[in-house]
Structure 1
Amino acid sequence: MIPTAPKPRGRRPKSEEPDESALAPEDRYRAPALDKGLDILELLATQPQGLTRAEIVKEMDRSASEIYRMLERLVARQYVMRNATGDRYALSLKLFALANMHPPLSRLINQALPVMDDFARKAEQSCHMGVYDRGNVLIAAQINSPRGWSFSVQRGARVGLVDTASGHLLLAYADALSYQRMLAEHTPLDGEVPISPTQLSSSLAQIRTQGYVERDSAQSFGVVDISFPILGPDNTALATLTCPYIRRIDRHVGPELADVRELLRAASKTLSLNHAVAREAG
């Protein structure tokens, strides 16, 4: 009997491979091993006390052998550490150290500025980016309108948490614990417009439904604040992108309010890590 030649190992025949053109863009260039490692890191990030290997296998619904191999590599590269008894795994401080080699706020500003500049040129309006800072909102980046006619908030200024579009967006897209902490840390700024808990709750519910803020400024006449969240992967707001829109009444014809809103929506979506939520509901 003639022995059967062993099947060659390695890549599958081309006829058996999936048609990449038919795949969604996010699935076209998959790297399963990398995805598996990132899944483990993201899972452990939610578990301060760590998990056993069996618990990780159960949560990820994968085979014990593939989880073991990946865990060993993450331990070897010092992204994950074992406890003293060796039966639990938790994140090490390596990710924290890497993040602090390139501070997150600086990275966000560097990524935002070109997008904000593009918006300002197209919209002929100024815009600014706000982040939560010690009970209020810090203006971390600002771009003026190239036309010279605009209303702007200076970079480095601190504005109110409970009476501004930026503050309401940050509160609306905060998780429950962060929301309580932000309100507890809040201290009124000069000129702050008071708001009752009922009014605040109603405003935040409307923002969550609509996905953005568009309303007359509580600080200046003739200004309409349009603001969208810059969302992280967990749907919380990393920052806000706001345009203090002013309408010109001379003979110059610039973008209308609705056009500016859509330009700002696109800019916030570009900067968001979760692109599905930074949009109007429906």
Structure 2
Amino acid sequence: MDDIEDEDRRYKAPALEKGLDILELLADAAEPLPLAAIADQLDRSRGELHRMVQVLQFRGYIDQDAGSEGYRLTDRLFALGMRQPRTRNLVELSLPVMRQLVQDSGESCHLAFHSRGEMVVVARVESGEQVGFSVRVGYRRPIPSTASGAVLYAFQSDAVRQRWESLFAPALSPAALKEFRAHADTVRTRQVELTQSPLVGGVTDISAPIMRGGAAAAALTVPYLERREPVHSAEQVSVMVLAAAERIAEQLVQSDERL
């Protein structure tokens, strides 16, 4: 935080900020970090962070990796966020529609939200087919690298887009950002995204927005597995995904009106 921002702050809570610094550091870490590494990266002594780390571990926000001395973030913060009424309501309304989508399409599906410049999977329903593909709850990827992320970004205001862009890690080059913006505008025009998975061969990610208040509150996505004798084509499944997303959005409007 720069000097101007620091001067504008009305209150300071050094102990709380140490804890938040630890959580934010571990959230971005690719591997568990030992106390010494946490202290070095935060430019603090091990002594002043030792008790803070122990409290965070006791409260369940971080945990020590079984194979090393490193600490990692648990899913407790994620679970707390999911307890928010609007978030919980969206997931609860989505699940029955998702189950019907899986039954109709024969494909698994998942629900994704935006979180700090990434998309995070918050719910999934697996297909009962013998061969299929699904994504685990809690899975995260940068917004620009997934169909869900492109859909979430596409259906936001310019101000929200700019805020999300500042969170992209790694940051996009000017050329890559321009290309991603243009792609998002295309997605917004056609209402649904169909793109080859960048991680899994033979999978086409099909994603549509769940709208709430004029913006995408979530993305409903089917990882469509290409088969020799498919029951439905990718284009047919895309129609199903878009219709399911619209049904959820309609139910959200009705639910919000009752609140």
Correspondence 1:199-278 to 2 at 5 A: 199-233=179-213, 235-249=214-228, 253-273=230-250
CA drift of 1:137 comes to: 0.7
Amino acid paired to 2:236: D
Equivalent residue, structure 2, for 1:147? 129
Query: Which of the residues 165, 183, 186 maps onto 1:183?
Result: 165
CA drift of 1:274 comes to: 9.6
Q: Work out whether residues 102 and 108 of structure 2, in 8 Å CA contact, stay in contact via their aligned partners in 1.
A: yes
Identity %: 28
Gaps of 5+ in 2: 1-81, 253-259
Q: Work out whether residues 204 and 224 of structure 2, in 8 Å CA contact, stay in contact via their aligned partners in 1.
A: yes
Higher helix share: 2
Q: Work out whether residues 129 and 239 of structure 1, in 8 Å CA contact, stay in contact via their aligned partners in 2.
A: yes
Distance 1:210 1:150, change over 3 A: same
SS at match of 2:144: coil
SS at match of 2:221: strand
TM-score (norm 1): 0.56
Q: Rg larger in 1 or in 2?
A: 1
SS at match of 1:272: helix
TM-score (norm 2): 0.61
In structure 2, C-alpha distance between the alignment counterparts of 1:195 and 1:125, rounded to whole Å: 35
Q: Work out whether residues 232 and 274 of structure 1, in 8 Å CA contact, stay in contact via their aligned partners in 2.
A: no
1:133 aligns with 2:133: no
Amino acid paired to 1:269: E
In structure 2, C-alpha distance between the alignment counterparts of 1:265 and 1:146, rounded to whole Å: 21
In structure 1, C-alpha distance between the alignment counterparts of 2:209 and 2:246, rounded to whole Å: 8
Give the number of aligned pairs.
Answer: 170
Q: Comparing 196-205 with 238-247, which one deviates more in the overlay?
A: 196-205
CA drift of 1:256 comes to: 2.2
Query: Which of the residues 170, 178, 181 maps onto 1:198?
Result: 178
In structure 1, C-alpha distance between the alignment counterparts of 2:217 and 2:119, rounded to whole Å: 12
1:156 aligns with 2:133: no
SS at match of 2:183: helix
Q: Work out whether residues 192 and 238 of structure 2, in 8 Å CA contact, stay in contact via their aligned partners in 1.
A: no
In structure 1, C-alpha distance between the alignment counterparts of 2:88 and 2:138, rounded to whole Å: 13
Amino acid paired to 2:183: S
Distance 1:195 1:271, change over 3 A: farther
Equivalent residue, structure 2, for 1:110? 92
Q: Work out whether residues 154 and 185 of structure 2, in 8 Å CA contact, stay in contact via their aligned partners in 1.
A: yes
Gaps of 5+ in 1: 1-99, 276-282
In structure 1, C-alpha distance between the alignment counterparts of 2:159 and 2:251, rounded to whole Å: 20
SS at match of 1:254: coil
Question: Structure 1 segments of 4 or more deviating over 3 A?
Answer: none
Amino acid paired to 1:210: R
Cα deviation, 1:233-274, whole Å, max 9, x if unaligned, reads 3x2100000101012226xx5222222111111100101149
CA RMSD of aligned residues (A): 2.5
In structure 2, C-alpha distance between the alignment counterparts of 1:140 and 1:213, rounded to whole Å: 19
Amino acid paired to 1:211: Q
